[in-house]
Amino acid sequence: MKRYFANTHFKRLMSSVAAMAILELMTGPPGSALDPTAGFTGSFGEASSFFGLFRTQRWVVFLFIAFIMFGLWTSWLTWGAQVKTATTKAMSVPRSVSHKQPVRWGVTLVLLVVALLLPHLITDPFWQAAMVEQIAVYVLLALGLNVVVGFAGLLDLGFVAFYAIGAYTTAWVTGALPTAAPFGIHFNNFYAIPIAIGLAMGAGIILGAPTLRLRGDYLAIVTLGFGEIITIFANNLYGITGGSQGTKTIPHFSLHVGPVKYLWGLTPVPYYYLTIVFVILFLIGFRLLEHSRVGRAWTAIREDEVAAESVGINPLKYKVMAFAIGASTAGFAGVVTASQSNTIFPSSFTLQFSINILVLVIFGGMGSITGVVLGAIVIQTGSMYLLHTPPAGYQPQDLYIYLGALLVVMMIFRPAGLVPSRRRHREIGLAEAGEGHMDEVLTGDTP
């Protein structure tokens, strides 16, 4: 017996089985006094089950998955190193932009056309709404957080605060809050955009200027606290924010310029186009920013803050800038959500929300614009799919189990994300080779 325990294959097999047993318990039906092992022995039981396989008891299925996991794990150990060196080699070759440029423009154009046609291809009302509320808005949020986490290397756990500021500003400006609208005028939602962006940015600067001097881990704590404070304010300042009931009377966007009149309404498609236009604007803006002087300063700070200072970069200034840009993006996303849903509740601005956006960024690839857009689309589409077409036994709260598992798997196989930024990929490669250091966001240690 002892010999078995010493065997690494056996250990791996047993860990796979144990991991799956835990997952099985977590996702299974709750046990009862009469049937304490229901989590294991319950069945997947739906008529739609696959060749009757899922009608069998849960433990059979999970044991099967455990064996597959063991197989994958073992083959990764055997061939993984080769795969990794091959990809690293491919990634570390400097990109020769020139002859690939037409291809990239072509791909961009195709994607643009697809994005514009999408509401006509997907006509299911659930998905049309999801495309706006759950995908496009989250792409925006992920893009904004990517500036903070990916470009500047700052861990912000209170991103939701700026989103809330944007949403509440919209309600305030349009006169939907108990407190009076500015100058007593009920502004059009479009006016909420610059005001929300300005206020979110201001909040970002006020919060950032004193705290961004702190080391990475302290910053995470302060932002975490700020996120909580904003939610508590929203909940408790009844006379100003409407308290826990929030508000339900935010108007829709409307356009009234000369003879042109348009009112965005309950149907999601017009909102889709409105949001997509802004997503594209933000995309272009961030792409330019990435390759600008500011973008280079962020990279330098992320790689070595002391060296950055000694070449004349003021780290505080550029960190506050990243923080403010991220904050204003979230503020803008808040305007869109508030206008589109007409309602806001303080209970939707939780820590979990901040973490969720962070997951999109990490999953997609910190610092890679393409990556975070794709990450947001993939994860949000996935979770919406699970919500819309839940597999047997799936509960909405199970989502985080799957997201967690997905992240763990990602960190093992693709630690730099789905579409890694070239630089980030090299950073992790070098850190693994014992040279340089990985980003503090990932490791928590500052040099």
Partner 1 sequence: MLEVHDAVVRYGAITALHGISFEVAQGEIVALLGANGAGKTTTLRMLSGLHSPQSGQIIFEGQDVTTTKAHQFTSLGIGHVPEGRRIFPQMTVEENLEMGAFGRRGSYSDDMERMYQTFPILKERRKLIGGNLSGGEQQMLAIGRALMGQPRLLLLDEPSMGLAPMIVETIFRIIGEIRDSGTTVLVVEQNAAQALRLADRGYVMENGRIVFGDSASNLLTDARVRAVYLGESADS
Give the CA count within 13 Å in the CB-facing half-sphere of 19.
Answer: 18
The yes or no reply on residue 252 touching partner 1 (CB under 8 A) is: no
Q: Which of 384, 372, 408 is nearest to 147 (CA)?
A: 372
Stretch of 150-158, 259-267, 291-299, 337-345 contacting partner 1, by CB under 8 A: 291-299
Q: Which of residues 313 and 336 has its CB atom nearest to partner 1 in the complex?
A: 313
To which H or E segment does residue 56 belong? none
Amino acid found at 337:
T
Q: Which of 32, 310, 389, 397 binds partner 1 (CB under 8 A)?
A: 310
The yes or no reply on residue 304 touching partner 1 (CB under 8 A) is: yes
The yes or no reply on residue 248 touching partner 1 (CB under 8 A) is: no
The yes or no reply on residue 209 touching partner 1 (CB under 8 A) is: no
The yes or no reply on residue 435 touching partner 1 (CB under 8 A) is: yes
Retrieve residue 207's tokens. 């919060």
Stretch of 47-55, 56-64, 238-246, 421-429 contacting partner 1, by CB under 8 A: 421-429
- In the complex, least distance from residue 88 CB atom to partner 1, rounded to whole angstroms: 12
Q: Which of 20, 148, 196, 297 binds partner 1 (CB under 8 A)?
A: 297
d(C-alpha 249, C-alpha 246), whole Å: 10
Place of tokens 């980003």: 439
Taking only Cα atoms into account, the Rg of the chain, rounded to an integer number of angstroms, comes to 24
Number of residues that bind partner 1 (CB under 8 A): 25
Amino acid found at 90:
A
Stretch of 31-39, 72-80, 302-310, 333-341 contacting partner 1, by CB under 8 A: 302-310
Q: Which of 170, 27, 148, 8 is nearest to 73 (CA)?
A: 8
In order, the DSSP letters of 290-312 are: HTSHHHHHHHHHHH-HHHHHHTT
Q: Which of residues 133 and 305 has its CB atom nearest to partner 1 in the complex?
A: 305
The yes or no reply on residue 84 touching partner 1 (CB under 8 A) is: no
- In the complex, least distance from residue 301 CB atom to partner 1, rounded to whole angstroms: 10
The yes or no reply on residue 184 touching partner 1 (CB under 8 A) is: no
The yes or no reply on residue 311 touching partner 1 (CB under 8 A) is: yes
In order, the DSSP letters of 19-54 are: HHHHHHHHHSPPP-SS-TTHHHH-B---TT-GGGGG
The yes or no reply on residue 26 touching partner 1 (CB under 8 A) is: no
d(C-alpha 426, C-alpha 432), whole Å: 10
Q: Which of 128, 427, 441, 442 binds partner 1 (CB under 8 A)?
A: 427
The yes or no reply on residue 300 touching partner 1 (CB under 8 A) is: yes
The yes or no reply on residue 313 touching partner 1 (CB under 8 A) is: yes
The yes or no reply on residue 303 touching partner 1 (CB under 8 A) is: yes
Q: Which of residues 29 and 436 has its CB atom nearest to partner 1 in the complex?
A: 436
Give the CA count within 13 Å in the CB-facing half-sphere of 383.
Answer: 24
Q: Which of 309, 351, 370, 394 binds partner 1 (CB under 8 A)?
A: 309
d(C-alpha 247, C-alpha 312), whole Å: 48
342: left (phi over 0), alpha (psi -120 to 50) or beta: left
Q: Give the interface with partner 1 as residue ranges (CB under 8 A).
A: 92, 94, 293, 296-297, 299-300, 303-304, 306-315, 423, 426-427, 430, 435-436
